[in-house]
Structure 1
């Protein structure tokens, strides 16, 4: 097991009715900006709960954060923060809203051009970001209990990430009841996103960090077993709770400690979202199978372990089990009605590999993957395989 440090200061309020407790977590003299997305919180009861809980506060609002948080929109929110002398941020939404709030937390006191925070990138240290809390309405990204974020810039077709120890939410409310009002397509996205988050931290090579390996495998199994229950028409509170907690545990930092991680799938997937606007989770489902097939020799032992422990595949040699594991992963995505070929999402796919290679070359990416050896030319081949 590798050396590591681990600190996660986010306080979790899990369960029905927990929004009522957030007033005890925010300073009484705070000037709060509540930030949300398309406005669904006004139809599912969350908005009224927040307004009631914070009725004694100076509460301002900013709505309209899009599904992939856009820099151009967030700059307008940043202007509101300064004009209204905001001292506390409250994200009410899914990962996109929470990611947007993390960027705003980092940018609120930054002296330079805000995009520099992502372009350089600049890590936000403890005490340097504006304090914020979150109320999760769409399980998927795990952003409610980590300190990373990803922002898109439409005019340059870039999707970049940053973070830092100063960007953990002070608290996050996880109420499984919100899953009741989420469209099935978004639930499927959340399952696939969380599933791929685990794979990025797990699908490298066998390690001596047995507990991290077992926890990762448990999250994958739980997502597989929970998926049909949360995709069913009838709402199941317990299944929704398992789904929500899996998404959080998939990316709160726990399973990546002491092990080598990959994240090449996300790097390539972000480019597909930047070019085509394809849902983030679906770009991951497009890239992951090709990535594992392209890097089969380096990953076959872990793929075989995944086959044995997660899918209970016991027949065949290492290569046969590894191949079966990739097929089972694809079948799982298909069971969620998520396609795994780029051509399923756009007719304009033939030059995508070239675009990704060019983008990675221009950013001087030294190498992707767990060994940091994948080049822009490798990315070209992986993306081309996904057509």
Structure 2
């Protein structure tokens, strides 16, 4: 598609919705949107495979809202996401696009009062964005709530939902919806489980794909850093200091590890917050909003933040711990270099990670260059880091 035709109107999008896209700063459709939106508008089932940060949410939100503008009806679409964070992210997009169009969208996720959600559902919103478990809770327990009238079902990050054992919930939701619905399924990877879900839920779908299986964002600069395990925090402090003023996302392996690391970084005067699956929903959203608003410049997270978090300004991703599930590495580093912007990712490799890191290089099909950090510069932090770690251990016991 030429640049002259690379507009929302050229895809057949309703003029008012085209204006809403531009108002959100979406100057032109991304490749996955170019392919998926006309099919969705036409009413074709779609299975979309695209790299993280490619604009998948717009690829399904735009056709859903377009079809609603053509023929308004209540509870038109149900959108499923694997995590609360991604569900809220998707909800924000629907609310942003639909703000001037009379669209009513609600979120239905765990960790939030079910009665309040039931009240919101009773007002017949146009779009429900939900995690599978909580949506099934409402189907079973909320009087009068049904998906029978739903004309559109979207499943985002389907591979992640299936890896999180949501198969039973997805089956229950599929059986509760209109068989003549439009179905759009998006996934970062095509696994055997996703293929099975596709056969069970889509009718003669059109497949759209814009990237290689394990392709990282085009403008991402990736590095590794060999670090003695006992000095990891020293090297992290040096790197964060060198990137002062930039937004950095640091991935840790465990919830307690992420919490302790964030506490230690705060003791070192870095404005750090953490995000992991054992936090309450208000605390998760609070940490995320602080980071988005730059009130905190370092977010220490587990893989709960590896997908779905659209924070366009992330400058640096640090894999403090290399993920055991190596495919998560692609999703982690995809949090930066989004929407065509440059970004940087550094993987810490200790003496205990060499074999895991070699498997990672094999997966991504390339050897990464070494990140240049002077040992003396890192070790100057040693005394302060040791004290900060000691204090963080005490702070952790108080939580």
Fold in common (TM above 0.5): no
TM-score relative to the length of structure 2: 0.31
The structure that has the greater radius of gyration is: 2
Q: Considering Cα pairs closer than 8 Å and 6+ residues apart, tell me whether 1 or 2 has the greater RCO.
A: 2
- Structure with the higher helix share, 1 or 2: 1
- Structure with the higher strand share, 1 or 2: 2
TM-score relative to the length of structure 1: 0.31
